[in-house]
A and B are shown apart, each in its own frame.
Chain A
Amino acid sequence: MPSLNLLSKRQKYAVHLTSLDILQEVGVIVPYEEALKKLEEAGAEVDYKSQRVLIPQYLAEEAIQKTPHRFNVYHRDLKTKKTLGGNETHFSTVGFATNFFDVMSRSYRRVTVQDLANATKIADALENVELQMCMGSPMDVPHEIVDRYMWATAFENTSKPIINEAMRKEGALDSIEMASAIVGGLEELRKKPIMLLLISITSPLTYDRATLEAFMEACKLGIPVFVNSGPMAGATSPVTLAGTLALNMAEFISALVIRYLVNKNAPLIIGSWARAMDVREASAVLGGPEFALLHACVANLAHYYGIPSAGGGVLSDSKSLDAQMGYEKALTGVLPALAGLNLICGMGLIASENTMSLEGLVIDNEIVSMIKKIVNGFEITDETLAFDVIKNVGPKGSFIRERHTLEHFRKEIWIPKITNRAFPEVWVKSGAKDLWVKAKEEVEKTLKEHHVLPLSTDAKNKIINIIKRREKEVLK
């Protein structure tokens, strides 16, 4: 149960009022006629020339209230489901690295389709990856249709629900066509979606046309949308975290309004990447304390609104699998998790989401396992308070042979998979290995041994045909 509240009720209300003021007095840029028309009909003040839309309070409030509190996404088997929203917290990989980190040589190179396939397969095997955002944006395929290769690679190498971007309306439709081919039709996909379409708002307060096309198409068809917005404090939003939060939420509310006007049944989850700018490097900070704080607050506000929430977490700016990676990932993961963010995305990537690391992914699985244990807490009952056991063992006794120990230890005590807790001498004798060495062993074992639920030949062929069709267009 989420219990951590960083904002009081009065503070949430203050942020909320500011978000409403931003929408009503500053507005958003919506460069898509179809959207502008719908917004104007609903009562927004639209300037067709500048494509700027001022959204009245009542419309914003109505859209917030009418957003579905939660929805389900499915594995390809159509049996396993994950609920996004309410009191659940899930973890996902994060997206779109263009680099790959080779831990042995400590070097970086461009991501390939094969890298993405390997990472996706490993994430399929890791029990704490619950959804999969496509980790890499491969550089060895035609760039114009890279999203199609990403969807295809993801569907083939995992049965877990996929989050991915799509390019324009055609990209969205292609991805939906692929998913429909897998589940047996669009109607089935609507009932049991195995995908979320990720769209991004550009801070401050700006959509681009391609995004709006994909967004509205997905809403029309009732396919879940993941709305990403990541204002950067000091650069694309006020340097104050409060102002960044208000702006971030205003952007999300504008998306809730568009969703509401397109299809009242369409599922949507907001996904915050609100962050600070590093004031030395001018880079976006994804492993900093602001990142953790902002997403815990987004979770608090989303619960206040009763809408599903996601965001970045378990992320790091480190360029290697080092101590910096460990503390940044742990802290940006645990805080939003305690605050009840419904979906935390960050596994698999390092270097500020720029770089994929297979060993890092295995380490992330361990970090998330530890976070889950912390968030789940422990039960207090007569059985767990164990007075009778304490009485029975008595002073000077030992609990190790007690049946109570045998019966409860697996639930009470977190059992790590790769964390090293050996005595120093034993560690030295066995080669004084750092964590990544153990992680690398897991990577190799998983790639060799793990079997992904196969796609049907029919679905596979349909997906290949979609890609071939687009390749012809691009390569002519």
Chain B
Amino acid sequence: MSAENIIKRLKRSVLDYNTDEAVSAAKDAVKLGVDLLKVIEEGLAKGIREVGEKFANGEIFLPELVMAAETMKRALEILEPELRKEKRERKALGKVLLGTVAGDIHSIGKTIVASMLTANGFEVYDIGEDVPAEKFVEKVKELKPDVVGLSALLTTTLPEQRTVIEALKKEGLRDKVKVIIGGAPASMEWAEEIGADGYGADAAEAVEVVKRLLGYSK
């Protein structure tokens, strides 16, 4: 089996939302010792970009977008540890860390933002829900993301977004990452008040904001 074949299978698996096939193709890639960066870029990344375009055109919908991102993630879980062994790293548009703040267990909006960012070529780390400020700080130190996204669905948990920003400041990390916020009670005004860098009213806007903050668009 050639690298070409692996690339085709990985791309197809993302387009078909076929997680099993993605895992099996990723394992074959490792076994065959093909160029892993190449199969990620030309297989998985091309596939997910195509999915992102289809979503933007209204041809496919959220469950498909989320599952495509999930399929890519499963393959990467196999490929990335191998890359690290080779001391190589994949070139994404940027690294984004996402989490729902402490006291809030809502995940759907964040999952959708994660999928949209993935489909737009970003490397996304979703660290879950009910994430305390210290955990955000710890993960920023460990993963060195370009952007941190803070999600909150409740009016009562909204102040936690400020708490995380304050914690990042205290640790001297605030100028090393861009911070974006989202969630039903959030707003542009709130973002300005707590000193966040950006705000997205929906997932598509979140992608635009991240692109703008990282200099990919105006």
Contact = CB atoms under 8 A, between A and B. Distances in A.
A403 interface: yes
A400 B63 contact: yes
Interface stretch (A29-37, A82-90, A349-357, A419-427): A419-427
A429 B61 CA distance: 22
Given A403-B67, A423-B201, A426-B202, A398 B107 contact: yes
B41 interface: no
Given A406-B17, A409-B63, A426 B205 contact: yes
A424 to B, nearest CB: 8
Contacts of B63: 400, 405-406, 409
B62 A415 contact: no
Given A401-B111, A406-B67, A426-B202, A396 B105 contact: yes
B13 to A, nearest CB: 14
Nearest to A410: B61
Nearest to A415: B61
Nearest to B105: A396
A406 B64 contact: yes
B70 interface: yes
Interface in B95-111: 105, 107-108, 111
Given A398-B108, A398-B111, A406-B17, A423 B67 contact: no
Contacts of A400: 62-63, 66, 108, 111-112
Contacts of A426: 201-202, 204-205
B181 to A, nearest CB: 13
Contacts of A401: 66-67, 70, 111
Contacts, number: 34
A403 B17 CA distance: 9
Contacts of A425: 187, 201
Contacts of B105: 396
A423 B202 contact: yes
Interface residues of B, number: 18
Contacts of A403: 67
Interface string B31-68: 00000000000000000000000000000011110110
A295 to B, nearest CB: 34
A426 B201 CA distance: 6
Interface string B61-79: 1111011001000000000
Nearest to B19: A403
A122 B50 CA distance: 31
Contacts of A422: 202
A400 B63 CA distance: 6
Nearest to B62: A400
A396 B108 CA distance: 11
Nearest to B187: A425
A228 to B, nearest CB: 39
Contacts of A398: 107-108, 111
Contacts of B64: 406
A321 B181 CA distance: 38
A131 B75 CA distance: 49
B58 to A, nearest CB: 9
A400 B112 CA distance: 9
B132 to A, nearest CB: 17
Contacts of B204: 426
Contacts of A406: 17, 63-64, 67
A399 to B, nearest CB: 9
A308 B216 CA distance: 62
Contacts of B205: 426
A423 B64 CA distance: 21
Interface in A385-416: 396, 398, 400-401, 403, 405-406, 409-410, 415
Nearest to A396: B105
Interface string B190-218: 00000000000110110000000000000
A398 to B, nearest CB: 5
A403 B105 CA distance: 22
Interface in A314-366: none
Given A401-B66, A401-B67, A423-B202, 15 more contacts: A398-B107, A400-B62, A400-B63, A400-B108, A401-B70, A403-B67, A406-B63, A406-B64, A409-B63, A422-B202, A425-B201, A426-B201, A426-B202, A426-B204, A429-B201
Q: Which 8 pairs from chain A and chain B are nearest by CB?
A: A425-B201, A405-B63, A409-B63, A423-B201, A406-B63, A426-B201, A406-B67, A423-B202
Interface of A: 396, 398, 400-401, 403, 405-406, 409-410, 415, 422-423, 425-426, 429
Interface of B: 17, 61-64, 66-67, 70, 105, 107-108, 111-112, 187, 201-202, 204-205
10 contacts: A396-B105, A398-B108, A405-B63, A406-B63, A406-B67, A410-B61, A422-B202, A423-B201, A425-B187, A426-B201
